[in-house]
Structures are given as C-alpha cells and as structure tokens.
Amino acid sequence: MMLDDQGMAEEWIVRVQGKEYGPADIDTLREWKREGRLLPENEARNTGADLWSTAAAIPGLFDAGASEAAIAGRLIEPPLQTQHRTFGQILAETFQIYRKGFFQFLGLTLLVLLPSVCSQLTTPLMKTTQGSYGDLGVLAGGLFSFFMFMLSLAMWPIYVAGIQILSAEIANGRRTGFVAVLNETVRFWPRVAALCVFVFVVFALLILFALGIALTLAAGATSPLSIFFALALLILQVWMFGWFFITVLFWQQFAVLENAGFIDSLRGSRNLARSGQDLPLFERPLWRGAFIASLWFALVLIIAVVSEWTTLHQYFNQLMTTQDPQTLLHQLTEAQQARGFDISAFVLNLLQRILQPLLGIAFVMLYLDSRIHLER
C-alpha cells in the first residue's frame, strides 16, 4: 500500500468521459484497470492536489514503459476521451453500442412493446365479438386493453432511463447485466415520468396551437390583416417550438446520467444545447442533435409510408374519382375494414420499435462528446 508523507494511504480521483470517480486507493484502481474501466490515458489526480495528470503517471499502477508512452502521447495529442468526435464517429459508435448490447436494448424495448401490442391486438378481437356492451367478454377485453395500455405508459420511463444507463456503460467499456440496469432505472422512474409528461404535453400543446392557427385562417375572412395576424402567430409558434426543442434536447441525459433534478435537467439541457459557439455550425450540439432527430424522423416517415402504402394508394384513387367528402370517408372506412389485419404493416412497425433505441444511443454519444468539449 502506498503512503503519503503523513503515513496515510494515498487516494486518487479519476475522470472518464467527463465523469469523476473516487476517491479510490491503489488496490481499487488496479481492480478498475483489470476490468478495463481505467486506461493509462484517463485523467487522474491525487486527492491532495488540484492538477490533473493521467492514470499512467500513478506510481505502481501501470508499468514504467506504458507510463512513459502514455505521457509522451498525451504531450502530442489529447487522450481519446477528450477528443472531439466527428459526426461520422458518433454514428459509428452508436451502431457499435447497439450491436454490443442488442439483446439488452431489445429487452428494454419489449417492456414497452409487448403491452402495447397486446392492447392493439385486443381491440380488433373485441370488434368481432358478438353481444352488447354489457357482455362480459367485451368488458373483460376492454379492461385488459386499458390495463395493457397503462402498463406500456408506466414502462416508458424505465425504457428511457435504461437506454441512457446501458449506453453510457457500454461506451465506458463496462458490461452490465439486464437486471442490474432495471434495478438502477427504478430510482429514476418518478423524475423521468414527470419529465416525460411535461415534454409530451408541451409538444402536444404546440401542435394544437399550430392547428388552431390553421383553422382560424381557414374559417376567417382572407383579409390582409387576418393573414398578417396568422403569420405572426405562426412565427411565434415556430419560435416557441425551437426554444422548447433546445431546452429538452438533452433532458434524458441530465436527468439520468447527471442525476439532476427536474428543473436542473431542463436548465442543463438548454445550456449544453447552446454550447459550442466557437465551433463550426455543424459541430455544435444543437445542430448535430437536430440532424440526428431529422434522420430518425425520415426513417419513421419512410416506414410509415411503406406500411400504409395500400391505404394511401386507395385514398389517392378514390380522391380522384369521388368529389363528395362524406362518400369518400365512407368508402375509405369500408376499405379499411375490408383490409383487416395487415401483417406487413405490423412487421414494419415492429422493426421501427426495435430500432428506436438507436436514437437514444446517438443522443447519449452526442451528450458525452458535447460534455467533453464543454469541460475543456
């Protein structure tokens, strides 16, 4: 055991991916080294000093040759954990993390997906059931569908927190069991659930606000004043949407990985999204986050169009031949009922849900990269 000048065991603080661990003695550091959690180039300092060095400089932790090489390498370029990732590297690491933890991410997805699927499958079965609303079978099916829907909503915060924790652990080179991840997510449930409700409600209100502007313009007289008023409201709505998007860009990471409270998560998310003003435009966290979200929404749109292609094709054909709106709606309803359960649409939607953790992983990687730049 290493002792300092006062005969006490020396302890160190290490910093990995912007997060500090410790104080830890030399035996703990050696255990972290064996587990692959501590590398020579990781930043470290003695608890009695303020100057950061590298773990390679800690006496007796790494061999002398490796220490000298790590120190020499640090003089040439910063360690891997403090290098600014390119957008391509963020995407590449996202797919690597997804591949390494595929079955764990799939397990998290099934927590939300299975109750939702059960609820959706119960609805068409209830429609084919004979009897009145008082029939016990219909009532039981309705209660089961409602219970599955509520269970899916209750699992959503666990799904969100689990993706954050699992992505960060794999990114730091640690392997965590699925049960351990679930146990860790439980303590974040109240905070993540409250933030989920807040975010979804605000976004829904902003969408309703935009629809209200459109309906007001359509119902009112098309005078220059009404058009100017509607455009002014639309500009306000776009500004509000953009401001809120910035505010909640990294709320999941701050709420879970930073263990920040409700308000602190939103404040930290906003500050991080607006950081990097000295970087080129496309390297700033905000623009990278917007591009990642755009890529995902484009994928979702493609899947939705492919899965609903038959319906869209029927709608277009009937729109060209039917002028009466009520007749058109009646024909579309009959066509949808005749179509029944579409297995191809179900499989495509299932594929989308299985791939959805990629979006969360990408934002975790972007968060880690942005934190590194912010702490320089």
Output the CA angle 292-298-300, nearest 5 degrees. 105
pLDDT of residue 3: 47
pLDDT of residue 110: 94
pLDDT of residue 358: 96
All residues at 6 or more sequence positions from 361 whose CB lies less than 8 Å from its CB, including other chains: 94, 97, 98, 105, 163, 167
E strand map for the chain? 12-16, 19-24, 43-46, 53-54
CA separation for the pair 256, 286 (Å, rounded): 20
Among 331, 326, 282, 284, residue whose Cα is nearest residue 311: 331
pLDDT of residue 127: 56
pLDDT of residue 334: 62
- Domains of the chain by start residue, with CATH: 12-82 (3.30.1490), 88-374 (no CATH)
Q: What tokens appear for 12 in the block? A: 């160190």
| Residues paired with 294 in a beta bridge | none
pLDDT of residue 76: 32
pLDDT of residue 123: 63
pLDDT, tens digit only, all 376 positions of the chain: 444 444 456 788 888 877 788 788 888 888 888 777 788 778 888 877 666 777 777 777 765 444 444 433 333 333 334 457 789 989 999 999 999 999 999 999 999 999 888 877 776 555 555 554 556 767 777 788 888 888 989 999 999 999 999 998 888 777 778 888 898 899 899 999 999 999 999 988 888 887 877 777 666 656 777 777 778 888 888 888 889 999 999 999 999 998 888 999 999 999 999 988 888 888 899 999 999 999 999 999 998 888 777 666 666 666 666 655 566 566 556 655 555 556 777 788 889 999 999 999 999 999 988 887 665 5
